[in-house]
Amino acid sequence: MNVFELISELEKADPEFLDRTNPRRQVFKHLGNTGKKITAAAVPAVFASFFNKAYGQSSTLPAGVQAVLTLALQLEYLEYYFYDTALNTPGLIPSQEVAAIQLIRNDEAGHINSLRGISGFAAPTAPTRANFDYSGGSGSGTGPLAAALTAGGPNANGALFFASAQAFSDTGQRAYKGGAPILNTDATKNILEAALNIHSVEARHNSHFRTVRRAIAASTLGVATAPAVAPYDTAPKSWISGTDNGGPKAPDGSQPAKAVYGAGTPATGTPDASFPADDNTMQAGVNLTSGLGTTYTAAQVSEAFDEPLDAATVKSIARMFVTPTSGLFI
Amino acid sequence: MSTSSSTNEVQSVVSELDKPLLTPIKRRSFFMYAGATAGATALVLAGCSKDDSSPGTIDVGSGDAGILNYAYALEQLEAAFYAQVKSTANGFYTNASAVEKQIFDDLAGHEAIHRDFLKAAISANGFTPLQDLKPDFSSITFTDRTSVLKAAQTFEDTGVAAYNGAGRFITNNAFLALAGKIVSVEARHAALIRDLVTYNSFVGSDIVNTFTQTAGAAPGTGTSSLTPDTNGTGNSGPGQERSKRPAAILSSVNNFLASGSKLSANSFM
Does any CB of chain B come closer than 8 Å to the CB of residue A279?
Answer: no
- Cβ(B118)–Cβ(B181) under 8 Å? no
- Average the pLDDT over each of A282-286, B28-32, B60-64, B88-92 and give the range with the smallest value: B28-32
pLDDT digits (tens, 9 = 90+) for A70-126: 999 999 999 999 999 999 999 999 999 999 999 999 999 999 999 999 999 999 999
A residues 83..122 contacting B (CB < 8 A)? 84, 99-100, 103-114, 116-117, 119
Type and span of the H or E element at B196 = helix B173-197
Confidence tier at B11 by pLDDT (50, 70, 90):
very low
Torsion of the alpha carbons at A283, A286, A291 and A296, rounded to the nearest 10: 30
CB < 8 Å to B185, chain A = 203, 239, 303-306
pLDDT of residue A241: 98
Q: What is the pLDDT of residues A237-251, one digit of tens each?
A: 999 999 999 999 999
End-to-end CA distance of chain B: 35
Three-state secondary structure call for residue A146: helix
* CATH superfamily entry for domain A63-321: Ferritin, core subunit, four-helix bundle (1.20.1260.10)
Q: Which residues pair with B263 in a beta bridge?
A: B58
Cis peptide before A231 (omega within 30 of 0): yes
- Which residue, among B190, B178, B208, has the nearest Cα to B72 in the 3D structure? B178
Q: Which residues in chain A are classed under CATH 1.20.1260.10?
A: 63-321
Name residue A280's amino acid: N
Query: Smallest CA–CA separation between B144 and chain A, in Å?
Result: 17
Question: How far A45 CA sits from the closest chain B CA (Å)?
Answer: 19
What are the backbone dihedrals phi and psi of residue B166, each rounded to the nearest 5 degrees, phi first? -95, -20
For residue B55, what is the DSSP state? T
Residues in chain A: 330
pLDDT tens track for B143-159: 999 999 999 999 999 99
**ipTM given for this complex:** 0.85
User: Residues B106-157: pLDDT tens digits?
Assistant: 999 999 999 999 999 999 999 999 999 999 999 999 999 999 999 999 999 9
| Identity at B68, one-letter amino acid code | L
Average pLDDT, chain B: 85
Q: How far is residue A304 CA from its own chain's centroid? A: 19
Closest-CA residue of chain A to B120 = A292
Mapping DSSP to helix (H, G, I), strand (E, B) and coil, where does residue B222 land? strand
Q: What is the mean pLDDT of residues A173-182?
A: 98
Q: Predicted confidence band at B233 (pLDDT cuts at 50, 70, 90)? A: low
* Residues making up chain B, counted from first to last: 269
Q: Going by C-beta distance under 8 Å and a sequence separation of 6 or more, which residues neighbour residue A70?
A: A123, A124
Cα-based angle B30, B34, B35 (whole degrees, multiple of 5): 115
Report the gap between the CA of A170 and the closest CA in chain B (Å): 10
The Cα B74–Cα B54 span in angstroms is 19
